[in-house]
A and B are shown apart, each in its own frame.
Chain A
Amino acid sequence: MAHKSDLIAEDIEGYLRAHETKSLLRFITCGSVDDGKSTLIGRLLYESKLVFEDHLAALEADSKKVGTQGDQLDFALLVDGLAAEREQGITIDVAYRFFSTEYRKFIVADTPGHEQYTRNMATGASTADLAVLMIDARKGVLTQTRRHSYIVNLLGVRHLVLAVNKMDLVDYSKDRFDEIVEDYLAFADQIGISRDRIVSIPMSALAGDNITERSATMDWYFGATLMAHLESVEIDRDDETLPFRMPVQWVNRPNLDFRGFSGLVGSGTIRVGDDIRALPSGKTSTVKRIVLPGRPGEESDLKEAVAHQSVTLTLSDEIDISRGDVICAASEPAEVADQFRATLLWMDGDDMLPGRTYLMKTGAKTVQATVAAPRHVIDVNSLEKLAAKTMTLNAIGSCNLALDQAIAFDPYGDNRYMGSFILIDRMTNRTVAMGFLKFALRRASNIHRQALDVNEAARAEQKGQRPVVLWFTGLSGSGKSTIANALEKRLFAMGRHTMILDGDNVRHGLNRDLGFTEADRVENIRRVAEVSGLMVEAGLITLVSFISPFRSERDMARERIGDGQFFEIYVNTPLAVAEDRDVKGLYKKARAGEIKNFTGIDSPYEPPENPEIVIDTVDQSPEEAAEQIIAILKDQGVLPE
């Protein structure tokens, strides 16, 4: 790799020993091609002697052919400048690059700077210890600089370098540099970046001033070069001084004699004999062993482990801990809660649907989170808070989240590892958002439900029946309500206690504030799921007749009610048949464009994948369908034989 160190040739073992103790710095470069970002990264790679001759030969040829620097090497070409990527139609994304010097190994997240790539930049910044903010000395602090600073600060990147580049084009003027720095620091104060986190360096990536070599021209600058700063900035203590946290990834139980809890230490330090508390259970114990096999001949146990280390802990007591639980320092445990205020950065092409339940992964735990409508979104250019009903790709906003169970957490501002999460769409499985926990809206310890003496079981027993939800789903005009009506008459005749929730009727009352957008349909179903849940608790056999077009919401209802009490009945009438019947004349209007978002026409219907019951309405009358359902309910023990 043409590392120019005499040690390599003379004393390779000495060289390796020196390199064995290198630390790791991850940083992100923010800026656009025009600011000289690619030139800077290219030069860092080149100056750290990481460019091979075969690559260099290609670079020389390319520089002459398409370079912008005359006969000089165009370093930007080394890192696949974004312009080139765009021309070739190659994905514009986060690219990771690597170089190392005698003191450190560096991982650079190279991300595009334009607003439409906010999510890529945020992804790159999420693991960065430091951000290099590129500024063109001729242009000064721009809207883009402010946006990048906001994102970097949101992600909690600790150290910032204000890289005032292209100083050669402003005659290496100290006044210009000072002016830009003053300007920037004033802005940084505004968004709450303390000045001790910022180091400003005047440079020219193109000419090589203050990159690895001190600038001969800018003798008025006494600070470190960029490389010297990257090599020396203190990073390692940051996470180790926080309270101990380790989310349990995997319970290692190879035999009866060993039961270990494996995970990556997210923050803090742990030693053998330390007291720990497992969350959310709150059970306590003591660390017996810290297992991580060492090099050959070394012991497989450690005396202590620190942040960023992957280990396996064994405890003195047999306490129940499973994947997703967090092992904490007993004296400084994390908080436990199930409702949060959070900041979200939306990363998917499909908009957020307020009221929908998404999967939320934090640490090693995946739970369900229902996302409320945003309280506001941020205009990343003006930093204004704007009202919004939803969040679109790259939007950053503040939302409330309600989880289906309590989790251990720390606010993101205190602990990046414990306060970060992603949201996953349950249907597409895509990662749709990254999020930052701000604070708990209520503590789990305060939300013990009122224990009632007369409970669901008692009410059901009084009525002598098993309460269930019979959830009819299908296209408009498929026959849901007609069948539900026929079924209720039969059940009533059998002496059962029943109730029907019908889509049209509920929309006249409880849900009259809702329209037919995707978001409103989600909320419509959420409310009906809640109400039918209460009906079941009241001991009733509840018939729900709603189009309920989205699988995700029907699954939400199933989870709300509970698997054994929820019967999904798919009224499977083909669109052509339903449209032909058109009892309410709605299809005609939808076809004529008079009704928008009509299921089956211009809004999707997602058929159930595993419904308990499927009804064929083409060859069956509603009464026959009702008999079919009764037979199945008898078979399932819901109704007596």
Chain B
Amino acid sequence: MPLTHLQRLEAESIHIMREVVAEVERPVMLYSIGKDSAVMLHIAQKAFFPGPLPFPLLHVDTTWKFREMISFRDNLAKELGVDLIVHINEDGVKQNVNPFSHGSAVHTDIMKTQALKQALDHHGFDAAFGGARRDEEKSRAKERIFSFRTAQHRWDPKNQRPEPWALYNARMHEGESIRVFPLSNWTELDIWQYIYLENIPIVPLYYAAKRPVVERGGTLIMVDDERMPLHEGEVPVEKMVRFRTLGCYPLTGAIESGADSLIAIIQEMLLTTQSERQGRVIDHDQSASMEKKKQEGYF
């Protein structure tokens, strides 16, 4: 019986994680609380079983995440007994940076990109695992699994190290770092199918429920707390909605859906005609925006 594609993908991800742990000084796993992070964390536990995770988790909290994400994160860390570091850009908080008055681009840059760099520098991490996949976006399709960053955290797409076979080069100079993407070769369907088969817990926001939303520019935005300024005449309405990806709640579009179980989510995903990142506000704010963000240090 040949290995299934999911077994092959899982084995590849485990191999990548072990290489990093063996070759770098201070690895960390970026944990974004979403489904991809859930899969990455699950695989990491297999990779180092029966030992504990040989690295901490890092969550960069923009302070605008859904409340349910935060409680899910804290419960999970407690349950698994993993070392979780939460980093907030306090400068940004002092300046009251938020997606409403500063716009999505500035907010994401300061509270996410800059915050991530702060955290990596502060703890001296030289390798950070991220859950990005090559099928998500064009610039990711050609990014390496071991993606090298300068001491300024910049990605140079024209100067990537060749990565033949599964021979990864993790050598770097002082101050430089690598971002590592163990899920590079997974697709959205692979992720869901693996969650289903392995029974991996995910944030309830992925499941449809009645939630208060307003419609803005064709996108349904959930009113997750009282910080959300309502436009004149805007009244939140209760709708059966769910989220295909999770981020900052004011920047994450909900979809109307009745899918309240894992199997229903997968069914809906297989039947949908819209791509996954279509609900993300930040990808659309300028053309070729992801390649640009990534060069500046965004994950």
A interface residues with partner B (beta carbon < 8 Å): 1-3, 8-9, 12-13, 15-16, 19-24, 52-55, 80, 88, 90-91, 93-98, 100, 104-105, 107, 119-120, 122-123, 126-127, 236-237, 249-250, 252-254, 258, 262-264, 291-293, 295-296, 300, 306, 308-310, 312, 323, 347, 359, 361-362, 364, 416-417, 420-422, 424, 429-431, 434
Contact = CB atoms under 8 A, between A and B. Distances in A.
B161 A430 contact: yes
Interface string B247-281: 00000000000000001101101111111001000
Given A249-B19, A309-B11, A310-B18, A100 B187 contact: yes
Interface string B40-83: 00000111111110000000000000000000000000000000
B273 A93 contact: no
Given A24-B8, A359-B171, A420 B164 contact: yes
Contact of B167 (A9, A122, A422): A422
Given A98-B187, A309-B3, A361-B169, A123 B11 contact: no
Contacts of A295: 197-199
B189 interface: yes
A433 to B, nearest CB: 9
B152 interface: no
Given A94-B142, A100-B189, A8 B271 contact: yes
A23 B3 contact: yes
Contacts of B11: 264, 308-310
Q: Which of A15, A292, A310 neighbours the largest number of chain B CB atoms within 10 Å of its CB?
A: A310
Contacts of B45: 293
Interface in B1-33: 2-12, 14-15, 18-19, 21-22
Contacts of A94: 142
B135 interface: yes
A250 B162 contact: no
Given A52-B274, A254-B51, A310-B47, A97 B141 contact: yes
A416 B166 CA distance: 11
Contacts of B91: none
Given A93-B142, A429-B169, A347 B162 contact: yes
Interface of B: 2-12, 14-15, 18-19, 21-22, 45-52, 134-135, 138, 141-142, 157-158, 160-167, 169, 171-173, 184-185, 187-190, 193, 196-199, 263-264, 266-267, 269-275, 278, 288, 291
B142 A95 contact: yes
Contacts of B7: 309
A237 B2 CA distance: 8
A16 B50 contact: no
A118 B169 CA distance: 20
Nearest to B11: A310
B185 A250 contact: no
A16 B166 CA distance: 29
Given A127-B166, A293-B45, A96 B184 contact: yes
A126 B4 contact: no
Contacts of A9: 267, 271
Contact of B14 (A21, A310, A421): A310
Contacts of B165: 126-127, 416-417, 420, 422, 434
A411 B133 CA distance: 34
12 contacts: A1-B270, A12-B264, A15-B270, A80-B138, A236-B2, A250-B18, A258-B51, A264-B14, A264-B15, A291-B49, A310-B10, A429-B169
Given A23-B5, A54-B274, A104-B5, A429 B50 contact: no
A252 B48 contact: yes
Contacts of B269: 1
A249 B15 contact: yes
Given A90-B291, A98-B135, 9 more contacts: A22-B5, A54-B275, A100-B189, A105-B187, A105-B190, A236-B2, A254-B52, A361-B169, A429-B171
Contacts of A80: 138
A308 B8 contact: yes
A97 B187 CA distance: 10
Q: Secondary structure of the B side of the interface?
A: helix
B3 to A, nearest CB: 6
Q: Which of B50, B267, B269 neighbours the largest number of chain A CB atoms within 10 Å of its CB?
A: B50
Contacts of A21: 4
Give 8 closest A-B pairs by Cβ, nearest first. Answer: A254-B51, A236-B2, A310-B14, A53-B273, A105-B5, A126-B164, A24-B5, A52-B275
A295 B193 CA distance: 13
A152 to B, nearest CB: 13
B263 A12 contact: yes
A431 B162 contact: yes
Nearest to A19: B193
Contact of A2 (B22, B160, B172, B273): B273
Nearest to A52: B275
A1 B172 CA distance: 40
Contacts of B169: 361, 422, 424, 429-431
B19 A364 contact: yes
Contact of B134 (A52, A96, A122, A249): A96
Contacts of B185: 96, 98, 107
B15 A95 contact: no
A429 B173 contact: yes
A292 B161 CA distance: 31
Given A119-B162, A123-B164, A24 B49 contact: no
Contacts of B142: 91, 93-96
A23 B196 CA distance: 18
Q: Which of A88, A264, A295, A300 neighbours the largest number of chain B CB atoms within 10 Å of its CB?
A: A264
